[in-house]
Amino acid sequence: MSINLPLILTLAVFITGLIWLYDVLVLARPRREALAAVDQQFSKLNLAEEQKQAAYAEARETAGREPVLVEYSKSFFPVLLVVFVLRSFLVEPFQIPSGSMEPTLEIGDFILVNKYTYGIRVPVLNKEAIPVNKPQRGDVMVFFPPHQPDTYFIKRVIGLPGDLISYNNHVLTINGEVVPEKLIAELPAGNPTYRIATETIDGKEFTVKKDLNPGGLSIRGTWRVPAGHYFMMGDNRDNSADSRAWGDVSEDAIVGKAFAVWMHWDSFFSLPSFDRVGKIQ
């Protein structure tokens, strides 16, 4: 079972904020009264200054002591609220778990995803509240796929609503027009098994990886993208489960647009690297 982090964060913000508010409206009043009583009591005592100050400080600390739950809520609420706002409406970090977007994104890349490019969405429900922009062909997008609605996926937008997409023997066609491909290299040198090439869609050039022998999803297929949906493909064309396998992605499943790599970290036992930092093409 996947952990629903947006739901957990939303509940944490709501609960800690509610406890803080309850303290302000209800619990704080007796503490204020107790502190006032301490002030009044010590104003009448005739003690040595040093002794009086120590006793006064201890009495005020005891009278004004907050319940542990309130203390923790006041400490965590501001931090949780900032994280909630940033993660829900501005930018969210993700780590790439698979090689389906190679060579654009590698396993271990940490990326940043713009959460408002495709509209402001209601946290947890993921419903668009304020329209901004729509996904464009060539964008790298994070979303929830139809077959795993609680798991984040990242692929490239290939087809928009109404588009006719064909992919036959590694030749990509959109609405009857073949997407231009330019060979970069066949690798490994001497005994190649795959090729690296660039494709250009709507003026956006990006790099793809294709096996010399097309895989099952690359041999033949034609799809019409329904209204309100998008056709997604991985840049590692023969090693990506995408819309060719499980269908189109609904607008309600969009998370955001991936725009930058900010770190690469292979594993817990390795050192982070910043060699791949940069904009995602």
Which residues are tagged catalytic?
100, 155
Question: For the chain, what's the residue count?
Answer: 281
Please give the single-letter amino acid code of residue 206: F
Helix, strand, coil share (%) of the chain residues, nearest 5 = 30, 30, 40
CA separation for the pair 273, 266 (Å, rounded): 9
Which amino acid is located at 212 in the chain?
Answer: L
Q: How far is CA 65 from CA 25, 62, 165, in A?
A: 16, 5, 66
Q: What are phi and psi of 104, to 5 degrees?
A: -65, -45
Cα Rg for the chain, rounded, in angstroms?
28
- Provide the 10 A C-beta neighbour count for residue 105: 24
Are 9 and 80 spatial neighbours (Cβ–Cβ below 8 Å)? yes
Structural tokens at position 154: 């990242």
Determine the Cα angle at 115 with ends 114 and 121, to 5°.
165
Residues 6+ apart with CB under 8 A from 28: none
Report the distance separating Cα 95 and Cα 112, nearest Å: 9
Q: What distance in Å separates the CA atoms of residue 207 and residue 194, rounded to the nearest whole number?
A: 13
Dist CA 112 CA 90 (whole Å): 10
- Residue 25 token pair: 């409206």
